[in-house]
C-alpha cells in the first residue's frame, strides 16, 4: 500500500506539473529528437547502456515534494561529511566544499575553452554519484528548466522557501545591482532583485558558505587567502532576479540549439558574448540566483542551485548533440585556456580532463556522450 501511495503521489505531481507547465519549444524539440538517438544507438550499440536502461534525469517541478526533499537531504548530508581537499584548501570543511574547491582551482581552464561542456558533464555526474553512493540518495540529479520560472523566479517551486524548494530568496537588502564584467553599458549592470541578504527559509537556511569569494557580485567578507581557499564562513546569500531570468526563456534556448550548427558558436553564444552585451543562458541562469556565492564566477558551486543550473546546461548540449549525433558527439572547439589567455593550442578529443583529487583524468572523448561515455558509467537521458 505504501509503495502504491508513493507511486500515485508521484504520478499526481507529474500531472499537476504538466498542467501548470505545458511543454515549451525546447521540450518539444527534445521529444522530437529522441528517435534520432534511438536510431543512432541501434547502429552504434553501447553495451549495456540502452535507451531503456538509461537513467532519466527529471525537471525539479516534475518531482514530488518528497522526492525534492530526498534530494536536498542528500545535499545536506554531503555538507556534513569531512572534506577530502582540506590539505590544499584550509577553508574546505565538507565533501560539498570539495566540489567548490575543484571549481575554483580549475575555472581558468574549464570556461571559455575546449573543456567547458565536457568537463562540467563529468563534474555534475560525479556530484550526482557522490549523493547516491555517500548519502544514500535514490534519485538522480534534477535540472532547472529556466523557462518555467523565468517570469517570477522568486515565487517558483525552486525559490519559494518551502520544504520542497531549493531554499528561499535572500532577505531584502538595498544594493546597486549586479555588475557584469566586460559588458558595455547599459548591459554591465543587472538591476537589483528582491533579495540580496541571507537565505532564511527552506532547507539551506542554516548553510555555511566556507570558501571564497574571488569575484563577488555583492559586497561580502574577504577571504583570508588570495586564492579564495581559506576559511571564510558566512551565510548563503541570494538576490533572485527576474531581470537576469529574462534571457533564459525558451525562445533564447531554442535559438541557441537550432541556429548554431558548429560547436564553437553554440558554446560561445551559450556562455555569453559580453562585449556585445549578450549574457547567454549560462550567465543568465547564474545571475538569476546571484548573491554570494552564486554570483561569483569561481565559487558559484557553493550555492546548491548551481547543480540544477548546470544540469540544464548539460541537457541543452544533449539536445544540440541529438540534432546530428554522427558529427556532434566528436565535435570540440576553442583552445585549452579561458578565452585563449594565456594563448594556447586548440583542444582535442585526446586532451585530458579531470576533477583534481576527486576523480582521475580522462580523455575528453570519454565525456562526449551521455550514452556509454566514461567507460559506460555515463548512461542517462533527460526526461
HEC readout, 268-297: HHHHCEHHHCECHHHHHHHHHHCCECCCCC
Segment among 15-24, 55-64, 176-185 with least mean pLDDT: 15-24
The DSSP result for 141-187, as a single string, is --B--HHHHTT-GGGSTTTS-STTSS--PEEE-----EE-TTPPTTT
Render pLDDT for 85-124 as a digit per residue (tens, 0 to 9).
999 999 999 999 999 999 999 999 999 999 999 999 999 9
Segment among 207-211, 217-221, 250-254 with least mean pLDDT: 217-221
Render pLDDT for 293-311 as a digit per residue (tens, 0 to 9).
999 999 999 999 999 999 9
Instruction: Report pLDDT for 381.
Output: 98
Average of per-residue pLDDT across 183-210:
94
Query: What kind of fold does domain 2-48+60-347 have according to CATH?
Result: di-copper center containing domain from catechol oxidase (1.10.1280)
Phi and psi angles of residue 175, each rounded to the nearest 5 degrees, phi first: -155, 170
Which grid cell is 265? 558558436
Instruction: Report pLDDT for 1.
Output: 46
Instruction: Report pLDDT for 10.
Output: 46
Q: How far apart are CA 191 and CA 170, in angstroms?
A: 16
Per DSSP (E only), the strands in the chain are 55-57, 170-172, 178-179, 189-190, 196-199, 208-209, 234-235, 352-353, 362-363, 380-382
Assign 4 a pLDDT band (cuts: 50, 70, 90). very low
Q: How far apart are CA 119 and CA 281, in angstroms?
A: 18
Q: How far apart are CA 215 and CA 232, in angstroms?
A: 14
Segment among 3-17, 28-42, 74-88, 92-106 with least mean pLDDT: 3-17
Residue 182 clears pLDDT 90, i.e. is over it: no
CB 13 within 8 A of CB 65: yes
Give the length of the chain.
383
How far, in Å, are 262, 272, 282 from residue 340 at the CA level?
A: 19, 15, 19
Instruction: Report pLDDT for 12.
Output: 52
Mean pLDDT score of the chain: 94
Burial (CB < 10 A; 0-12, 13-18, 19+), residue 76, is middle
Residue 282 clears pLDDT 90, i.e. is over it: yes
**Count of CB atoms situated within 10 Å of the CB of 221:** 13
Amino acid at each position: 500500500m505504501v509503495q502504491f501511495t508513493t507511486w500515485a503521489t508521484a504520478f499526481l505531481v507529474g500531472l499537476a506539473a504538466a498542467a501548470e507547465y505545458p511543454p515549451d519549444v525546447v521540450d518539444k524539440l527534445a521529444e522530437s529528437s529522441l528517435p534520432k538517438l534511438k536510431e543512432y544507438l541501434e547502429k552504434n550499440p553501447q553495451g549495456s547502456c540502452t535507451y531503456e536502461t538509461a537513467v532519466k534525469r527529471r525537471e525539479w517541478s516534475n518531482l514530488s515534494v518528497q522526492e525534492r526533499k530526498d534530494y536536498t537531504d542528500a545535499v545536506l548530508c554531503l555538507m556534513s561529511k569531512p572534506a577530502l581537499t582540506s590539505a590544499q584548501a584550509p577553508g574546505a570543511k565538507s565533501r560539498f566544499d570539495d566540489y567548490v574547491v575543484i571549481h575554483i582551482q580549475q575555472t581558468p581552464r574549464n570556461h571559455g575553452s575546449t573543456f567547458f561542456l565536457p568537463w562540467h558533464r563529468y563534474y555534475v555526474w560525479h556530484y550526482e554519484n557522490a549523493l547516491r553512493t555517500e548519502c544514500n540518495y535514490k534519485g538522480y540529479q534534477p535540472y532547472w528548466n529556466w523557462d518555467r520560472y523565468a517570469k517570477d523566479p522568486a515565487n517558483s517551486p525552486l525559490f519559494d522557501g518551502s520544504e520542497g524548494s531549493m531554499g528561499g530568496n535572500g532577505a531584502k537588502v538595498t544594493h546597486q545591482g549586479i555588475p557584469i564584467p566586460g559588458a558595455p553599458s547599459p548591459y554591465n549592470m543587472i538591476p537589483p532583485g528582491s533579495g540580496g541578504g541571507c537565505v532564511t527559509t527552506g532547507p539551506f537556511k542554516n548553510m555555511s558558505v566556507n570558501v571564497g569569494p574571488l569575484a563577488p557580485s555583492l559586497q561580502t567578507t574577504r577571504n583570508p587567502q588570495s586564492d579564495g581557499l581559506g576559511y571564510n564562513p558566512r551565510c548563503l546569500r541570494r538576490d533572485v532576479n527576474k531581470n537576469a531570468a529574462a534571457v533564459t526563456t525558451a525562445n533564447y534556448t531554442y535559438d541557441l540549439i537550432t541556429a548554431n550548427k558548429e560547436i564553437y558558436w553554440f558554446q560561445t553564444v551559450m556562455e555569453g558574448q559580453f562585449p556585445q552585451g549578450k549574457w547567454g543562458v549560462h550567465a543568465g541562469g547564474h545571475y538569476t540566483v546571484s548573491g554570494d556565492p552564486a554570483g561569483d564566477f569561481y565559487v558559484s558551486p557553493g550555492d546548491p542551485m548551481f547543480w540544477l543550473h548546470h544540469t540544464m546546461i548539460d541537457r541543452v548540449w544533449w539536445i544540440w548533440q541529438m540534432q546530428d549525433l554522427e558529427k556532434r558527439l566528436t565535435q570540440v572547439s576553442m583552445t585549452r585556456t579561458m578565452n585563449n589567455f594565456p594563448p594556447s593550442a586548440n583542444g582535442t578529443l585526446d586532451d585530458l580532463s579531470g576533477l583534481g583529487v576527486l576523480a582521475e583524468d580522462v580523455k575528453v572523448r570519454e565525456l562526449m556522450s551521455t550514452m556509454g561515455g566514461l567507460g559506460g558509467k555515463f548512461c542517462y537521458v533527460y526526461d
